[in-house]
C-alpha cells in the first residue's frame, strides 16, 4: 500500500464511525507531519511517515477515538524528532492537540544522570498529561503497539530493552485501563523477544493441536447454545484458546507443561442483562461440574478498571477443564476496549470529557512524591500489575490491594491516620501478625489506639503497596526529622569513607551547591533527612556526587597548570591588553548572545572541529547542527518562515571533555566482525554508549555505533581505524 493509500484507508475507517469529523484538519495534520518527517527513514528503510499513519490507524480502527486524537497521532513524533515545537502545533492546529503531542513525546532535551532518571521523568510527565486528558496514554499505547509490531528491524539489545519496558509498564497500564485486547498483544509481542524459544514452543504446540482444540470448542459451544436456546435466553457464545503469554505465565509460575494447564480454553457468553448473567451461570453449573474455589463474581465486585464479568471454571464432558466468562454486551465492550469504550463524542466528535480525569492516576503520582528513579519505576510496576486481592471492611466495603498485601497495606488504604495509630489487626475474627498475607474475601478489622507510637521502620519492608510505604515515609519525614538527619548523616559518611572520600572533599563553597544539584536537595540536612526516612539511599547520593568530584578535581589540576604557565610568561605579556573573554556554553559560542541554553541536535551529532550552524528553538535555546545536516540545508536556511531563526555559532576554547555522536559502519557480514569492531574502538580508547547491528539479505552487515569523542581529530582517528578492518566498505556519520 502506498502512503496515499494508507491515508485514504485511515479516512475511510474514520468515516465508518465518525462521519462528522473535520477531514480537512486531519488532511492538514497528515501533510504537515509528512513535511516535517521528510527525508527521515525508519529502521526498516520505509519513509518515517508510515509510522504516524499506522499509529493513527490503530487509534481509529481499534479504539474509535475522536478526530483530535487522530490529528495528534499523526503529529505525535514531530516535537521529538523534527524542528517543530509546541507553539507551532498550537498555532497551526490547536493548543489541545499541541498538549496531546507534547504529552506523548519523550523528554529528549534534558540530560539525565541515569537511564532510570530519564525513564522516570518521561513516565511521570506522561502520567501527569494522562491525568488531565486520558487520550495521551491511549495514543502512547497505540504508538508502542505499532513499534512492537515492527520490532524485528531493531537490534537484539533494543528488542529486549523495549520489550521489557512494554511488559513492565505499558501492558500493566493497558490492563489498568481495561484494554484487554491491546494488553494481550503487547504481552505476546514482548514475550516473542524476551524468550523467543519459550514463545515459539508454545505457538508451535498450539498450532500442532489446532484441529483437536477446534473440535473441542465447537462441541462445547454447541452444548451451551442448545441449552440456552431451549430456555429462550438471547445469547452469543464463542470460545478461544488463551493467548501465548497467559499460557507461558501459568506454565512457569506453576511449573506445568501445556497439557497440565487448568484453563487453557475460555468461553464467553454475552447476554442482554445482568439477570441473564446469573441465569446462564446456573445453566453452566447444571451442564458441567463446577471446580470448587474457581468462581469469581466481578459483577457484584467490579475490578478497579471497571471490568465486570462472572468467571467460573468447570470440568467438561470429556474431562477437560475450561473457563466460562459471562457478561452483558456493555460489559464486553468495557472488557475489550476499556476506557476507550467510554469515549463520548462532543459536537463534531471533539473534546475530552470528564472521563479524562482518573483518581487512581492522581493517587499514583502523589504516592511517588519524593521517590527516586529506581523506587518510582519499581512501585509503578507493583501499583499497576494485574495481580490483586479483594478484601472487606467489617462494614462490607471492598478494598482492592496488591497480591501479597498485609494488614498494614489495608490500614493505610483506609486512611493514613488509621495506619499511623494501628496496634493490631483481626482477619476473619482472629488476631493476626502485621505480616499476615491477606486473601480474597478476608474480612479485616484494624485495631487502633490514640496512644500508639506510630509506624515502625520495619513496616516499610512488610508493606507491599506503594501507597502504604509512601504514607509511612511521610510520617517519618514529618515526625522524626532530627532523628532522620542523625541517621542519614551517619549512613552518608560511612558510604563516603567506603569510597575513599571525606566530608572536606564536599564542603568547599564552590563545590557544595554543584553537588547538591546532582542529588536534587536544597541542603545537606534535607539530603540526610531523606536518607534517614528511606526516601533516598546513601549509596546513590555518593555515586552521583563521586563523578562530579572527579570532574572538579581534574578541572582544578588543569587550572593550576594553566596558572603556572601564565606566571612564567607574565613578564612578556605585561604590556599587551588582555583579550575580551567570550563566555561559551558546552563549548559553543553563540554570536551576540551570552548564557544561552545550547543543545546538540541528535540528527547529526556535531563534535568540535565540525562546521556548525545554530537554530533558535522557542523555549529551548539554540539547537546546534552540522552544516552538512539535511535539517540545516541551504534550502531550509533560505526558507522565509525560518530564516530569522538561523544564527551563527562557533566552537569556543573551553569545549567539554567529550561529545556524543554516531558512526555507521557498512561491511561484508562475517564471523567475528563485531569483535574486530570492538577491538578497534578499544585500541583508540573510545567510550562506546551502544552498538546496534543488523544483517541484510544480500550478505552485508550494518552497525550503528554510539560513541563519545573529544573532537573531530579523535573522530578521524576512529574512522581510519575502522576502515582498516577486513571487509569494511564504508564508515559514515549519519545526519538528518
pLDDT at 365: 47
Question: Which pLDDT tens digit goes with each residue over 122-132?
Answer: 666 666 666 67
Phi-psi region of 534 (alpha: psi -120 to 50; beta: other; left: phi over 0): left
> Based on the number of CB atoms within 10 Å of its own CB, is 160 exposed (0-12), middle (13-18) or buried (19 or more)?
middle
For cell 483437536, name the residue: 212
Select which of 11, 34, 61, 81 is catalytic.
81
Interatomic CA distance for residues 136 and 129, integer angstroms = 7
Rounded to the nearest 10 degrees, what angle do helices 673-683 and 712-723 cross at? Answer: 140
CB-facing half-sphere around the CA of 416: CA atoms within 13 A = 11
For cell 561529545, name the residue: 659
Instruction: Answer yes or no: 80 catalytic.
Output: yes
Question: Which pLDDT tens digit goes with each residue over 671-711?
Answer: 888 888 888 888 888 888 888 888 888 788 898 898 888 88
Q: Residue 68 in 3-state DSSP?
A: helix
Give the max Cα distance, the chain.
Answer: 111
Question: Which pLDDT tens digit goes with each residue over 498-515?
Answer: 777 777 767 766 677 778
User: Taking the chain, what is the end-to-end CA distance rounded to the nearest angstrom?
Assistant: 25
Residues of the chain with pLDDT under 70: 106-131, 253-254, 258-263, 304-305, 337-388, 505, 508-510, 550-584, 594-595, 618-620, 736
Select which of 11, 22, 80, 333 is catalytic.
80
Which residues have CB under 8 Å from 326's CB, separation 6+? 268, 269, 271, 277, 280, 281, 284, 309, 310, 312
Question: Is the torsion defined by CA of 603, 608, 611, 615 positive or negative?
Answer: positive
Question: Which pLDDT tens digit goes with each residue over 632-643?
Answer: 888 888 888 777
Interatomic CA distance for residues 273 and 628, integer angstroms = 66
Return the H-helix or E-strand segment holding 388. strand 388-392
Q: Residue 369 in 3-state DSSP?
A: coil
Q: Select from 67, 71, 137 the least CA-distant residue to 345.
A: 67
pLDDT at 589: 85
Cell of 349: 466528535
Which residues have CB under 8 Å from 113's CB, separation 6+? 518, 544
Cell of 669: 557480514
Q: Select from 450, 362, 465 the least CA-distant residue to 407.
A: 465
Do 277 and 327 touch, CB atoms closer than 8 A? yes
pLDDT at 34: 92
Do 283 and 228 touch, CB atoms closer than 8 A? yes
CA angle 37/41/42 to nearest 5° reads 115
pLDDT at 559: 62
Interatomic CA distance for residues 75 and 96, integer angstroms = 13
Rounded to the nearest 10 degrees, what angle do helices 95-104 and 115-132 cross at? Answer: 150
pLDDT at 213: 85
> What phi and psi values does residue 682 have, to the nearest 5 degrees?
-65, -40
Do 727 and 673 touch, CB atoms closer than 8 A? yes
pLDDT at 566: 58
Dihedral angle over CA of 705, 710, 714, 715, nearest 10: 40
What size, in residues, is the chain? 736
Dihedral angle over CA of 324, 327, 331, 332, nearest 10: 50
pLDDT at 142: 93
State the alpha helices, DSSP H only, in 435-480.
459-462, 466-479
Amino acid at each position: 500500500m502506498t502512503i496515499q493509500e494508507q491515508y485514504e484507508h485511515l479516512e475511510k475507517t474514520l468515516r465508518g464511525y465518525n462521519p462528522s469529523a473535520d477531514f480537512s484538519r486531519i488532511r492538514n495534520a497528515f501533510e504537515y507531519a509528512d513535511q516535517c518527517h521528510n527525508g527521515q527513514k525508519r529502521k526498516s528503510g520505509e519513509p518515517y511517515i508510515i509510522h504516524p499513519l499506522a499509529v493513527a490507524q490503530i487509534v481509529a480502527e481499534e479504539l474509535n477515538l475522536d478526530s483530535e486524537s487522530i490529528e495528534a497521532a499523526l503529529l505525535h513524533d514531530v516535537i521529538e524528532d523534527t524542528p517543530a515545537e509546541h507553539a507551532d502545533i498550537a498555532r497551526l492546529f490547536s493548543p489541545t492537540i499541541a498538549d496531546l503531542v507534547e504529552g506523548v513525546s519523550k523528554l529528549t532535551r534534558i540530560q539525565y544522570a541515569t537511564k532510570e532518571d530519564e525513564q522516570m521523568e518521561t513516565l511521570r510527565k506522561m502520567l501527569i498529561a494522562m491525568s488531565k486528558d486520558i487520550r495521551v496514554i491511549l495514543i502512547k499505547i497505540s504508538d508502542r503497539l505499532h513499534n512492537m509490531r515492527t520490532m524485528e528491524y531493531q537490534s537484539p539489545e533494543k528488542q529486549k530493552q523495549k520489550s521489557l519496558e512494554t511488559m513492565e509498564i505499558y501492558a500493566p497500564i493497558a490492563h489498568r485501563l481495561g484494554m484487554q485486547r491491546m494488553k494481550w498483544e503487547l504481552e505476546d509481542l514482548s514475550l516473542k523477544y524476551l524468550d523467543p524459544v519459550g514463545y515459539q514452543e508454545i505457538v508451535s504446540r498450539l498450532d500442532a493441536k489446532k484441529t483437536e482444540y477446534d473440535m473441542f470448542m465447537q462441541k462445547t459451544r454447541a452444548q451451551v447454545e442448545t441449552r440456552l436456546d431451549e430456555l429462550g435466553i438471547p445469547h452469543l457464545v464463542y470460545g478461544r484458546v488463551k493467548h501465548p503469554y497467559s499460557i507461558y505465565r501459568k506454565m512457569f509460575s506453576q511449573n506445568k507443561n501445556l497439557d497440565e494447564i487448568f484453563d487453557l480454553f475460555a468461553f464467553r457468553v454475552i447476554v442482554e442483562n445482568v439477570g441473564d448473567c446469573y441465569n446462564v451461570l446456573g445453566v453452566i453449573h447444571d451442564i458441567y461440574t463446577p471446580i470448587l474455589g474457581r468462581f469469581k463474581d466481578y459483577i457484584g465486585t467490579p475490578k478497579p478498571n471497571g471490568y465486570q464479568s462472572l468467571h467460573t471454571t468447570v470440568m467438561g464432558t470429556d474431562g477437560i477443564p475450561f473457563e466460562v466468562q459471562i457478561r452483558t454486551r456493555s460489559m464486553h465492550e468495557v472488557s475489550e476496549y476499556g476506557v476507550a469504550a467510554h469515549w463520548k463524542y462532543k459536537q463534531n466528535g471533539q473534546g475530552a470529557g470528564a472521563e479524562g480525569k482518573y483518581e487512581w492516576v492522581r493517587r499514583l503520582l502523589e504516592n511517588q512524591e519524593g521517590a527516586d528513579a529506581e523506587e518510582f519505576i519499581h512501585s509503578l510496576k507493583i501499583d499497576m500489575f494485574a495481580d490483586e486481592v479483594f478484601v472487606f471492611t467489617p462494614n462490607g466495603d471492598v478494598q482492592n490491594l496488591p497480591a501479597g498485601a498485609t494488614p498494614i497495606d489495608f490500614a493505610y488504604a483506609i486512611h493514613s491516620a488509621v495506619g499511623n495509630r494501628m496496634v493490631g489487626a483481626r482477619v476473619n475474627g482472629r488476631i493476626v501478625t502485621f505480616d499476615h498475607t491477606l486473601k480474597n474475601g478476608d474480612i479485616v478489622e484494624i485495631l487502633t489506639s490514640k496512644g500508639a507510637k506510630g509506624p515502625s521502620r520495619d513496616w516499610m519492608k512488610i508493606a507491599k503497596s506503594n501507597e502504604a510505604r509512601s504514607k509511612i515515609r511521610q510520617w517519618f519525614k514529618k515526625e522524626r526529622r532530627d532523628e532522620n538527619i542523625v541517621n542519614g548523616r551517619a549512613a552518608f559518611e560511612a558510604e563516603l569513607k567506603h569510597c575513599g572520600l571525606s566530608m572536606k572533599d564536599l564542603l568547599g563553597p564552590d563545590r557544595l551547591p554543584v553537588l547538591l544539584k546532582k542529588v536534587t536537595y536544597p541542603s545537606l540536612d534535607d539530603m540526610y533527612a531523606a536518607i534517614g526516612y528511606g526516601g533516598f539511599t546513601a549509596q546513590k547520593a555518593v555515586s552521583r556526587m563521586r563523578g562530579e568530584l572527579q570532574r572538579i578535581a581534574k578541572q582544578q589540576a588543569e587550572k593550576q597548570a594553566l596558572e603556572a604557565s601564565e606566571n612564567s610568561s607574565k613578564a612578556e605579556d605585561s604590556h599587551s591588553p588582555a583579550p575580551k573573554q567570550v563566555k561559551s556554553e558546552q563549548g559553543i559560542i553563540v554570536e551576540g548572545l551570552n548564557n544561552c541554553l545550547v543543545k546538540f541536535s541528535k540528527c547529526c551529532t556535531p563534535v568540535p572541529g565540525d562546521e556548525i550552524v545554530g537554530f533558535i528553538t522557542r523555549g529551548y535555546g539554540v539547537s546546534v547542527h552540522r552544516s552538512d545536516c539535511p535539517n540545516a540545508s541551504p534550502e531550509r536556511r533560505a526558507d522565509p518562515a525560518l530564516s530569522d531563526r538561523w544564527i551563527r555559532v562557533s566552537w569556543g576554547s573551553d569545549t567539554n571533555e567529550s561529545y556524543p555522536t554516531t558512526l555507521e559502519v557498512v561491511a561484508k557480514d562475517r564471523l567475528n566482525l563485531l569483535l574486530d569492531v570492538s577491538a578497534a574502538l578499544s585500541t583508540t580508547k573510545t567510550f562506546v554508549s551502544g552498538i546496534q547491528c543488523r544483517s541484510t539479505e544480500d550478505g552485508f552487515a550494518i552497525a550503528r555505533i554510539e560513541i563519545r569523542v573529544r573532537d573531530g581529530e579523535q573522530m578521524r582517528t576512529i574512522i581510519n581505524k575502522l576502515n582498516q578492518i577486513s571487509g569494511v566498505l564504508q564508515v559514515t556519520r549519519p545526519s538528518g
